Amino acid sequence: MSTKRLTPTKDTLIRLFAKSGNRCAFKGCSNLLFTDKNIFIGQVCHIKAVSVNGERFDNNLTAEDLRKPENLMLLCYEHHVEIDRGITKYSPADLLEIKREHEQQFEDVTQDLTNEQAEQMMQSYLTTLDSKLDSIITQNSKNAHLKEGIKYEVDPLSVRKWNNQSVLRNALIGSLSFIFGLLAFCLGLFEDLNIFVSFIIYGVLFLIALTCSPMIFAPTWNRNKEVDFLGTFYKLNNELELTSYQKHAKCSFPDCDGWIKIVDPPEKEVNRHKKIGCCSKEPRLHTYSCENNNTIGYFHKMDFSKKDPKPSN
């Protein structure tokens, strides 16, 4: 049986945040808990779960035990998901050690300060936090549904279908266009054909080949398996009939009537996500992961900033 979930007290949140350094507690993570605009984007996470179906549930703990600071840690969304649903399994001892090491880092910083400076720093954190505690509690309650995720479904307005004859015909047209376009390009470089004319011919034929490219590669795809090709989803059945479509989901943020569309991730997220979901109304704020073969997604804050340029030698 699950234990009743109690909201952490203000004193508990003060203690947690004071030892957090305003950073996610997960080792190596530098994600902020509060943004520079004083918006709380972190999450208050349980080390031992409240629900019997949750990770690391302990039937011996009471509701009061579960909301004590010893059983809570502040994480970013990504690492909250990782400790609860990731491949690696984290025991309570693992998480307590992660929390201890993180809090020790913050304590080490204060040890280098004078007592007066340390007191001023702690008071600054507590004063700043005190004005935000209600918003933390409210936002965690308000956005609890974000943990349930969204379900990506086929957008019926985006569906297109080709019969097997159309697939084979377009595959042939695309292949020949590519071959003759490449030939025109080579003739322009090495033969007497005017290079400007050859580039025009090559460009036109290349565009035709690009348009037909799904049909060129479709016969090699596994039957009845969804394929993501150039930002569009395709499925080829056993009769070589091809269907293309986009996927979307209703944005789960409160008071948002936007639709989540699956797109390529920004350059700083490509190592963590093959695809992401972005809201049509708030594409950089209402962002989601794409999991389980692009069928479900969970709220995830994405980094849309540009990568730092490589230093020149």
> What number is the average pLDDT over the span 18-45?
81
Mean residue pLDDT across the chain: 78
Q: For residue 202, which phi and psi values (nearest 5 degrees)?
A: -60, -45
Report how far residue 12's alpha carbon sits from residue 74's, in angstroms, rounded to the nearest whole number.
11
Query: Other CB atoms closer than 10 Å to residue 38's CB: what's the count?
Result: 10
Q: What pLDDT is stored for residue 117 in this prediction?
A: 40
Put residue 301 in one of left, alpha, beta given phi > 0 → left and psi -120 to 50 → alpha: beta
β-pair partners for 246: none
> What number is the average pLDDT over the span 254-279?
88
Rounded to 10°, the helix 92-111/115-130 angle is 130
Could you tell me if 36 and 128 are in contact, meaning their C-beta atoms sit under 8 angstroms apart?
no
Q: How confident is the model at residue 241 (pLDDT cuts 50, 70, 90)?
A: very high
The 3-state secondary structure of 65-116, one letter per residue:
HHCCHHHEEEECHHHHHHHHHCCCCCCHHHHHHHHHHHHHHHHHHHHCCCHH
- Token digits for 1? 């049986």
Listed range (4-13, 88-97, 251-260) with the worst mean pLDDT: 4-13
Put residue 224 in one of left, alpha, beta given phi > 0 → left and psi -120 to 50 → alpha: left
Q: What pLDDT is stored for residue 254 in this prediction?
A: 76
Give pairs for 115-124: CB < 8 Å, separation 24+: 122/18
Model pLDDT for residues 97-130, shown as the tens digit of each residue: 999 988 888 776 543 434 454 344 344 434 444 4
For the cut 70, the answer to whether the pLDDT of residue 94 exceeds it is: yes
Percentage of residues in the chain having pLDDT higher than 70:
79
Instruction: Specify which of 39-43, 103-107, 235-239 reaches the highest per-range mean pLDDT.
Output: 235-239
Q: Which amino acid is at 295?
A: T
> What number is the average pLDDT over the span 158-163?
93
Query: Other CB atoms closer than 10 Å to residue 76's CB: what's the count?
Result: 23
For the cut 90, the answer to whether the pLDDT of residue 31 exceeds it is: no
> What number is the average pLDDT over the span 273-287?
90
For the cut 70, the answer to whether the pLDDT of residue 133 exceeds it is: no
- Distances 267 to 76, 248, 273, 282, 291 between C-alpha atoms, Å: 20, 22, 10, 19, 19
> What number is the average pLDDT over the span 28-44?
79
Report how far residue 258's alpha carbon sits from residue 260's, in angstroms, rounded to the nearest whole number.
7
Counting every residue, how long is the chain?
A: 313
What is the separation of C-alpha 200 from the centre of its chain, rounded to a whole number of angstroms?
41
Query: Coil, strand, or helix at residue 242?
Result: strand
Q: What pLDDT is stored for residue 128 in this prediction?
A: 42
Better pLDDT: 215 or 198: 215
Model pLDDT for residues 164-192, shown as the tens digit of each residue: 999 889 889 988 988 888 887 787 776 66
Q: How confident is the model at residue 144 (pLDDT cuts 50, 70, 90)?
A: low
Listed range (11-15, 113-117, 218-222) with the worst mean pLDDT: 113-117
Rg of the chain over Cα atoms, rounded to whole angstroms, equals: 27
Q: What pLDDT is stored for residue 132 in this prediction?
A: 46
- Token digits for 54? 């949750």
